[in-house]
Amino acid sequence: MSKHPVFVDGYAGTNEDLAKDICNMSYYRIKEFMKKFANDIIDQSMDEAAGHPKLSQNLEIIARELLSTETTIGYIFNSDPHSLTKQGKSYYVEGYSDSLDQLAISVGNMSYDMVADFIGNIADYFKIKAQTLEKKPLIGFEISSDLSSAAISLTNAQELINNTWNNYCKDQTEKIDRTTK
């Protein structure tokens, strides 16, 4: 596996800062980011299919969780057409000058443990936002419910990435041990 960076090239902040900056965008832009991120993970899955079939299969499942999140965020955007101005202050990620496509690829290119950390940070932000919105009448409860659902999908993806990463590392260690004996 050729994944090594522990940061996003072109962004000076931490994973936690990046997740927060992404979540400060409009719901529409968050939705678009999730779609692009999922597509990058699908591309990685196809790249790994021949050499690491189990890894490839897990990456496909992770991509489905990201697409589920993208769909849920789409529901929020569609239920609140003014969400472009109400939820997010920005159409872009502050501190990152490249495209949303490139950002998704850069996030996907981080080491899997860092990708899992990043996804967990977004899930945590969605949970906090859901708790805040839950108390607002009418649309707040619906959006809160959708954000909670998105957080669950992201948490599932995070756990699967962690398990996949740990199993991959274990397999690599066993291969090294067999070749050195």
pLDDT digits (tens, 9 = 90+) for 131-162: 888 777 766 777 888 999 999 999 999 999 88
Angle at which helix 27-48 crosses helix 53-79, to 10 degrees, equals 170
For residue 132, is it within any domain?
A: yes
Burial environment of residue 20 by CB neighbours within 10 A (0 to 12, 13 to 18, 19 or more): middle
For residue 157, is it within any domain?
A: yes
pLDDT of residue 169: 79
Mean pLDDT across the stretch 79-103? Answer: 72
Q: Residue 63's domain spans which residues?
A: 15-180
d(CA 54, CA 161): 12
For residue 62, is it within any domain?
A: yes
For residue 4, is it within any domain?
A: no
95: left (phi over 0), alpha (psi -120 to 50) or beta: left
For residue 8, is it within any domain?
A: no
Q: Of all residues in the chain, what percent carry a pLDDT higher than 90?
A: 39
For residue 29, is it within any domain?
A: yes
Highest mean pLDDT among 40-44, 88-92, 162-166: 40-44
Q: What is the pTM for the complete model shown?
A: 0.83
C-alpha triplet 142, 118, 31: angle, nearest 5°: 40
For residue 144, is it within any domain?
A: yes
* Domain tally, the chain: 1
For residue 2, is it within any domain?
A: no
SS3 assignment, position 35:
helix
pLDDT of residue 155: 94
d(CA 72, CA 69): 5
Segment 43-90, tens digit of pLDDT: 988 988 788 888 888 889 999 999 999 999 988 887 765 554 455 556
Mean pLDDT of the chain: 84
What are the structure tokens assigned to 47, written together?
A: 């790249």
pLDDT of residue 87: 52
